[in-house]
Every structure is written in C-alpha cells, then in structure tokens.
Chain A
Amino acid sequence: MEEKFEPKIAAFVCNWCTYTGADLAGTSRLKQEANARLIRVPCTGRIDPVFIIKAFENGADGVLISGCHPGDCHYNAGNFHARRRWILFKNLLDFIGIDSSRLYFSWVSASEGKKWVDIVDGVIDAVRIKGPFKQYKKMNKEIEIPVAVEEGVSVK
C-alpha cells in the first residue's frame, strides 16, 4: 500500500507581520492546510541561510520565508538586507544543483490573513506535486540507522 505523500513545509515568518497575519487568518477562521510548521523569527533579516539548510537536512520538503513588505520593516531595513541575501543564496543553490524552486518567498503583512492562506496552500500544493525532496534526503544516508540493524536485535 502506497502512503499518500504529505509534504513538510518549514515556514520562517517575521514576528511583526506574517506571524500576525497568520494569526489573523486563524481568528478569522479561514481554512488552510496544516503541513506548514511556523517558526517565528524577529525579522526576516534574522534568517541565516543555514536555517534553510538545516530545515532541508531535517526533512523539510519545502521552505517558505515570509516577512514585511519593503518599507514596512519594524527595524527599518531588515527585509531589504534579507532580500539581497536571498538573491545570492538562490543563485548559489542553482549553481550547485539544489532545486531552489522548493524555496518560497513572500511579503505578507499583519492584515493580509487571506493572502497568507493563499500562499501557504499554494506552496503546499506545489510541493505535493513535486513530491518528497529526495535529492536532499539522500544526503542523510550515513546518519540514518541502517535498515539491517534496525530489524535486528537492538542493544541497550
């Protein structure tokens, strides 16, 4: 029996806008799919690309990053700095051959609950079509418990 694939999405969201926007979506009782795990950060400028790498390492099939619209940053310029970093990071992923289309970016303000729902659902649907991120999961081969061992007797 083949299990239906449910993607895991790690969503890094800014405390001041998208997180509040997602909250608004909840209080407005808007329906959204439950595959995205929200990680609240103080600003998109706080997101080090190593977070994205770590998310993929730990089994994320897609990563969504969302923050304040340009000009709306609580700290004035955090999102501008972040945007510059992502341009470089996406180019690097492309050059190495990692599917950078599994990385999604959006600007969602505190009042855009509906936009948040649309974006999350869109990302989840897109990743569901792409399937599991096998490229990256393969890299865990040395760290995974070998199947032969797991089926045998475990030592305590």
Chain B
Amino acid sequence: MEELIISNDNLKKIVHELLNNDCRVIGTTAENKFKEIESADELVLNPGSVPTGSSFKEYFFPKTEPLFFYKQNHSNVDLFDPIPDKSKIVVLGAKPCDAAALPIISKVFNWDYKDDLFNSRLDNSLIIGMSCHYSDEFCFCNDIGGSPENMKGSDVFLKPLADNYFKVTSITPKGEAFIKEYQKYFEKDLGKNKPIERKVENPKHFDYDKVKTWLDNNFENKFWDTAGEMCLGCAQCAFVCPTCHCFDIIDEQNGSCAGRRAKNWDACQFSLFTKHASGHNPRDNQEKRYRQRISHKFKYYMDKFDEVLCTGCGRCSRGCPVSLDILQVVEEINSLPENSNSIQ
C-alpha cells in the first residue's frame, strides 16, 4: 500500500464530516483535555503535550451507566433494558499510552462474562493514535513494553511531519476502511515533509521481569509497610488511569416504585472496596491496599491475562495529592534483592 500523509486542515475537515454524520468525536482540546468535541476547531493535536489529566476510558467505560431500569407494576416488577449506545465513536490524538489501554482492559471485559456495554462501544469505535513527543520524570512506557511510537490499540496512527502534516499508517481493517472512506483528504507521501524529530529521551528505569519475580515471591515483605504509608486512600489514581477497570454495582431508587441498577467506577484504594457484609475487611489498612494496587498492575494481571495493567502514562503520579510516585515505587522494588525477606 502506498504511503499516505494528511494535513492538519484536512484532518479537521474529516472531523467536520464525522460530526455531521452523528459521530461522537473525542479529541484533545486547547486545555489539553479529552472531550467530546462539538466543532472541528476545538481539536488541538499536539504530540509534545503532557498526557491529559484524565484518560479517555470514560467514553468506553463510563463513570456511571445503567444496566437496567425497574418499575413496580401492581404486584409485579417490570424491567427495562437501557437504550443501547450505538453511536460511532472516533478518538483523535490518543497517545500510545492511552490507546494501548483499550486492548488491555478488553481482556478483562471479555474473560468469563462478555461485557456487551463495553464491547459494543469498542466495536463502534475508531482510535486514531499519534506518536508522542513528550517525556517527563513520570513517564515509563518503554519500561513495560510500550514506546512513544507504539501502535497497539490504534486503528490509524499519525506521525507528525513538518508544516502541519501527519504521516498516516493504517493498522487494522477498521482503519483501512476509514482511510478509504475519506480518501479524498489524504495525499501521497512524496517525501517533501520531513518527519519531526523527537527531542526527548525515554530513559530505562527498571527491568520488568525482575520486578515481576520480586512480586511473585514477596507478598509478605517489610517493604509494603512503608510503600503505601502516606497514601490517603482516595481514588484519583484509579479514576484517571487508562487501565483501571474495577466497578461496583448498585441499585438506586427514583421515587418510591422505580429506579435503576447501575455500574459505577470503584477503586481498590477505598477502604470499602473489600469490606465484607460481615464487617470483616481483609485489606484493613492502606498499606495492604497499596500492595494490592501495585500487585494487580504488575503481577496478577500478567499472571491471568499476560499483560501489564499499566501503560506507563504516569497520570496517577502527576495527580497524586501526596505525590506518591508509582514509578519510584517500582524502581525501588527493582533495586531490592530477589528475596529480601531474609535480610530484614
């Protein structure tokens, strides 16, 4: 297939057409936030920007969504399915660390139970990724199998070229179909626009295999007593994370005879997360809850789904109210002897 490029202006024209075709377009704005944009002018694609405050997972796995509605009908109860969300979603300007999260969480949503709500949104979506020209002390995508040019999770991938152009790569059949549909906006790559060089380096921080081995053998280790000591137990980290996917199911009433059952975001740092009906709480302090967070991300998910439940975007650390830095914690684990219990 021939090499294609697209100008920023033409990309905006596509967005304009998409919006006219009742497509939901999720893109980054001037405030560097993912937002459902209303006009193509709102879209700002900047490969050099810091990852947005929140990931775009809420458009696939919303913070709250109904599973069904109920209403009392004399002595019976009527149940109603919510209106299925069939609208097409196009995500524009996803960083590699954002896009890679979707195939990762897709595994848990398609494990024993197939989550139709998540799947239908994913099936109706098109992810346009973009290479990343940013790196700071919180970024670590390259330590866990990612990279600033990683195309995992994207259907179409853009690489910035000089003069506001992007080099276009289609990765999936969905991506190819998209390029075909809007082919009038794409141009042949004649090599006139030079690629913009990435000016920042991504240093190597830790050896994932070593960290995994340590986690395998050190569930009970003194390290955990201090690792999460300062954690306050909010869910900022989990809710801005592109891969955190835990949810809670609750019933909510509206008036006296009707209501809904809803699926809401939940987080392992909440004390209520593991509390049993009996009152017993197996993770009864923040240190244990923090161990769970690290272990789930770097061990359990790998054991079960062969993926690291983290893309290295660094959002959790950038936003943490007490500056708990997941990278520093993992680096510290990396520096510990394999079985440090013996030298306690």
Contact = CB atoms under 8 A, between A and B. Distances in A.
A–B direct contact (CB < 8 Å): yes
B80 A58 contact: no
Interface residues of A, number: 15
Contacts of B71: 145, 150
Interface string B54-83: 000000000010101101000000111111
A155 B83 CA distance: 13
Contact of A145 (B64, B69, B256): B69
B152 interface: no
Interface stretch (A94-102, A109-117, A118-126, A136-144): A136-144
A155 B71 CA distance: 12
Contact of B69 (A58, A149, A156): A149
A83 B146 CA distance: 60
Interface residues of B, number: 19
For A143, A146, A155, the residue with the greatest tally of chain B CB atoms inside 10 Å of its CB is A143
B50 to A, nearest CB: 32
Given A140-B254, A149-B69, A156 B78 contact: yes
Given A143-B252, A144-B254, A149 B78 contact: no
A59 interface: yes
Main DSSP-derived SS at the B contact region: strand
A58 B254 CA distance: 6
A87 interface: no
A143 B260 contact: yes
A97 B226 CA distance: 45
Contacts of A150: 71, 80
B78 A154 contact: yes
Contacts of A58: 254-256
B258 interface: yes
A148 interface: yes
Interface of A: 58-59, 140, 142-146, 148-150, 152, 154-156
